[in-house]
Amino acid sequence: MKYAGIDIGSRTIKLVVLADGELVFSRKSMTSHSPLETAQELMNGAEFDVITATGYGRHLLKGHLGCPVISEITAFALGSRFFSRNCSSILDIGGQDTKAIALDDDGLMKKFEMNDKCAAGTGRFLEVMATALGFTLEEFWRAALSAGKAVKINSMCTVFAESEVISLTSQGALREEVALGIHKAIVSRSVGLLKKVAPPGMVFFAGGVALNECVKVLLEKEMARPVFVPPDPQIVGAIGAALSAMKEA
* Footprint of other proteins (CB under 8 A): 56, 70-74, 97, 108-112, 114, 116-117
Residue 82 or 112 with smaller CB distance to other proteins: 112
Residue 71 or 169 with smaller CB distance to other proteins: 71
Residue 110 or 142 with smaller CB distance to other proteins: 110
Long-range CB contacts for residues 148-154, cutoff 8 Å, separation at least 24: 148/177, 149/177, 149/180, 150/177, 150/180, 150/181, 150/183, 150/184, 151/177, 151/178, 151/180, 151/181, 152/181, 152/184, 153/178, 153/181, 153/182, 153/184, 153/185
Residue 56 or 135 with smaller CB distance to other proteins: 56
To other proteins, the closest distance from the beta carbon of 22 in angstroms equals 25
Q: Is 248 exposed, middle or buried (0-12, 13-18, 19+ CB in 10 A)?
A: exposed
To other proteins, the closest distance from the beta carbon of 110 in angstroms equals 7
Residue 57 or 181 with smaller CB distance to other proteins: 57
Residue 208 or 240 with smaller CB distance to other proteins: 240
To other proteins, the closest distance from the beta carbon of 198 in angstroms equals 15
To other proteins, the closest distance from the beta carbon of 109 in angstroms equals 5
Please state, in angstroms and rounded to a whole number, the distance separating the CA atoms of residues 157 and 186: 11
Please state, in angstroms and rounded to a whole number, the distance separating the CA atoms of residues 216 and 194: 14
Q: Which helix (H) or strand (E) holds 41?
A: helix 35-43
The pair phi, psi for residue 3, each rounded to 5°, is -110, 125
Residue 108 or 166 with smaller CB distance to other proteins: 108
To other proteins, the closest distance from the beta carbon of 54 in angstroms equals 10
To other proteins, the closest distance from the beta carbon of 156 in angstroms equals 17
In terms of phi and psi (left: phi > 0; alpha: psi -120 to 50; beta: otherwise), the region of 93 is beta
Q: Three-state SS for 233? A: helix
Q: For residues 198 and 100, is the Cβ–Cβ distance under 8 A?
A: yes
To other proteins, the closest distance from the beta carbon of 227 in angstroms equals 23
